[in-house]
Chains A and B, each alone.
Chain A
Amino acid sequence: MSAPNNSFDPVEVTPLHPDEVARMREEALAAIAAAQDLAELKEVRLAHAGDRSPLALANREIGALPPAAKAEAGKRVGGARRDVGQAVKERQAALEAERDERVLVEERVDVTLPWDRTPRGARHPLTTVAERMADVFVGMGFEIAEGPEVEAEWFNFDALNFQPDHPARTMQDTFFVEGPDGGDSGVVMRTHTSPVQVRALLSRELPVYVVAPGKTFRTDELDATHSPVFHQLEGLVVDKGITMAHLRGAIDAFVGSMFGEGLRTRFRASYFPFTEPSAEVDMECFVCRGASVGDPDNPCRTCSSEGWIEIGGCGVVNPRVLVAAGVDPEVYSGWAFGLGIERTLMFAHGVRDMHDMVEGDIRFTSAFGSEN
Chain B
Amino acid sequence: MRVPLSWLREYVDLPAGATARDLASRLTLAGLEVETVDSLGADLTGPIVYGRVLEIEELTEFKKPIRYCRVDVGAANGTGEPQRIICGARNFSEGDLVVVSLPGAELPGGFRIGARKTYGRLSEGMICSATELGLWEDHSGIVILPEGFGEVGEDAIGPLGLREDVIDIAVTPDRGYALSIRGVAREAASLYGVAFHDPAAVDVPASAGAGHPAAIADDSLCDRLVLRAATGFDPDAPTPLWMKRRLHQSGVRPVSLAVDVTNYVMLELGQPLHAWDRDRLTGTVTVRAAEAGEKLETLDHVQRSLDTDDIVIADGAGAQAIAGVMGGLDTEIGASSTAVLIEAAHFDAIRIARASRRHQLSSEASRRFERGVDSHLQLAAATRAVGLLAELGGATAEDAYTHLDRVAPRTPVTVRAGHAASVSGVDYPAGTTEKWLEAVGCDVSADGDVLTVTPPPWRPDLTDPNDLAEEVIRFEGYENIPSIRPRGSGRGLTAGQRLRRAVGRALADAGYNEVLSYPFTGQRDLDGLQLPADDARRKALRLANPLNDEEPLLRTTLLPGLFKALARNTGRGFTDVALFETGLVYRPRAQATRAPLLPVDRGPGAEELALVDAALPEQPRRVGAVITGDAERAGWWGAGRAATWADAVQAAREVARVAGVELEAEADVHAPWHPGRCAALYVRAEGERLLVGHAGELHPRTVKAFGLPERTAAMELELDRVERARTPVVAPEVSTYPVAVQDVALVVDGDVPVGALREALAAGAGGLLESVRLFDVYTGEQVGEGRKSVAFTLRFRAADRTVTAEEAGAARDAAVAEAAARTGASLRA
**A140 and B485 form a contact (CB under 8 A):** yes
Q: Which 5 A-B pairs give the minimum distances between C-beta atoms?
A: A326-B603, A209-B488, A141-B488, A269-B31, A243-B425
**B residues within 8 A CB of A237?**
486, 488
**B173 and A167 form a contact (CB under 8 A):** yes
Q: Mark A232-255, 1 if CB is under 8 A from B, else 0.
A: 000001000011111011101100
CA distance A185 to B580 in the complex (A): 32
**A residues within 8 A CB of B492?**
138, 143
- A269 touches which one: B474, B508, B583, B612 (CB < 8 A)? B474
**A219 and B545 form a contact (CB under 8 A):** yes
Tell whether A116 pairs with B501 under 8 Å between CB atoms, given A142-B490, A244-B423, A319-B464.
no
**B424 and A244 form a contact (CB under 8 A):** yes
CA distance A237 to B486 in the complex (A): 9
With an 8 A cutoff between CB atoms, is A127 at the interface? yes
List B residues at the A interface (Cβ < 8 Å): 28-31, 33, 172-175, 350, 353-354, 357, 370-371, 422-426, 464-467, 469-470, 473-474, 478-479, 481-494, 497, 501, 504-505, 507-520, 541-547, 554, 565, 568-569, 572, 574, 576-580, 583-584, 586, 592, 594-604, 609, 612-613, 615-617, 619, 631-633, 635-637
Tell whether A187 pairs with B616 under 8 Å between CB atoms, given A119-B511, A171-B173, A248-B481.
yes
Could you pull out 9 A-B pairs where Cβ atoms are within 8 angstroms?
A116-B633, A144-B494, A158-B598, A186-B594, A207-B489, A243-B424, A268-B31, A318-B464, A326-B602
**B595 and A153 form a contact (CB under 8 A):** yes
- B172 touches which one: A113, A161, A271, A323 (CB < 8 A)? A271
Q: Mark A250-265, 1 if CB is under 8 A from B, else 0.
A: 1011000000000000
With an 8 A cutoff between CB atoms, is A118 at the interface? yes
CA distance A171 to B357 in the complex (A): 12
**B474 and A154 form a contact (CB under 8 A):** no
CA distance A366 to B511 in the complex (A): 10
In this complex, how many residues of chain A approach chain B with their Cβ under 8 Å: the count is: 104
With an 8 A cutoff between CB atoms, is A43 at the interface? no
CA distance A320 to B31 in the complex (A): 21
- A233 CB to closest chain B CB (Å) equals 14
Cβ-closest chain B residue relative to A278: B470
- A367 CB to closest chain B CB (Å) equals 11
**B600 and A324 form a contact (CB under 8 A):** yes
With an 8 A cutoff between CB atoms, is A276 at the interface? yes
Tell whether A177 pairs with B542 under 8 Å between CB atoms, given A123-B508, A124-B516, A150-B586.
yes
A-B pairs under 8 A by CB, number: 313
With an 8 A cutoff between CB atoms, is A165 at the interface? yes
Stretch at the interface among A26-34, A51-59, A284-292, A356-364: A356-364
List A residues at the B interface (Cβ < 8 Å): 113-124, 126-127, 131, 138, 140-144, 148-155, 158-159, 161, 163-168, 170-171, 175-180, 183-187, 189, 202, 207, 209-210, 215, 219, 221, 228-229, 237, 242-246, 248-250, 252-253, 266-271, 276-280, 316, 318-320, 323-327, 333, 357-362, 365-366, 369-371
Tell whether A116 pairs with B504 under 8 Å between CB atoms, given A268-B33, A323-B603.
no
CA distance A215 to B555 in the complex (A): 14
**A119 and B633 form a contact (CB under 8 A):** yes
CA distance A21 to B473 in the complex (A): 105
Could you tell me the dominant secondary structure of chain B's interface residues?
A: loop
**A320 and B464 form a contact (CB under 8 A):** yes
CA distance A153 to B544 in the complex (A): 14
**B residues within 8 A CB of A249?**
483-486
CA distance A117 to B632 in the complex (A): 5
- A30 CB to closest chain B CB (Å) equals 43
**A residues within 8 A CB of B579?**
360, 362
Tell whether A121 pairs with B507 under 8 Å between CB atoms, given A269-B474, A276-B470.
yes
CA distance A159 to B609 in the complex (A): 12
**B545 and A176 form a contact (CB under 8 A):** yes
**A120 and B603 form a contact (CB under 8 A):** no
- A213 CB to closest chain B CB (Å) equals 10
**A residues within 8 A CB of B546?**
175
CA distance A280 to B517 in the complex (A): 29
Cβ-closest chain A residue relative to B584: A149
- A318 CB to closest chain B CB (Å) equals 7
**A residues within 8 A CB of B637?**
115, 117
Could you tell me the dominant secondary structure of chain A's interface residues?
A: mixed
**A residues within 8 A CB of B464?**
276, 318-320
**A246 and B484 form a contact (CB under 8 A):** yes
**B514 and A270 form a contact (CB under 8 A):** no
CA distance A126 to B504 in the complex (A): 12
CA distance A250 to B603 in the complex (A): 28
- B643 CB to closest chain A CB (Å) equals 10
**B172 and A186 form a contact (CB under 8 A):** no
CA distance A187 to B616 in the complex (A): 7
Known: A176-B545, A366-B513, A371-B505. 17 other contacts (CB 8 A): A116-B635, A119-B511, A119-B576, A121-B578, A126-B516, A150-B616, A154-B597, A178-B542, A189-B554, A215-B584, A276-B467, A316-B469, A319-B466, A320-B464, A327-B603, A358-B518, A362-B577
- A186 touches which one: B484, B514, B584, B596 (CB < 8 A)? B596
- B544 touches which one: A176, A207, A252, A358 (CB < 8 A)? A176
CA distance A327 to B604 in the complex (A): 11
**B31 and A140 form a contact (CB under 8 A):** no
- A142 CB to closest chain B CB (Å) equals 5
**A residues within 8 A CB of B544?**
175-178
**B residues within 8 A CB of A243?**
422-425, 484
Of B473, B481, B517, chain A has the most CB atoms within 10 Å of the CB of B481
CA distance A360 to B478 in the complex (A): 41
CA distance A249 to B265 in the complex (A): 45
CA distance A191 to B791 in the complex (A): 57
**A residues within 8 A CB of B520?**
228
**B497 and A118 form a contact (CB under 8 A):** no
Cβ-closest chain A residue relative to B552: A178
Cβ-closest chain B residue relative to A229: B518
CA distance A123 to B514 in the complex (A): 5
**A residues within 8 A CB of B509?**
120-121, 370
**A residues within 8 A CB of B354?**
165
CA distance A318 to B30 in the complex (A): 19
- B414 CB to closest chain A CB (Å) equals 13
**A361 and B572 form a contact (CB under 8 A):** yes
Tell whether A277 pairs with B519 under 8 Å between CB atoms, given A180-B592, A249-B484.
no
CA distance A276 to B175 in the complex (A): 13
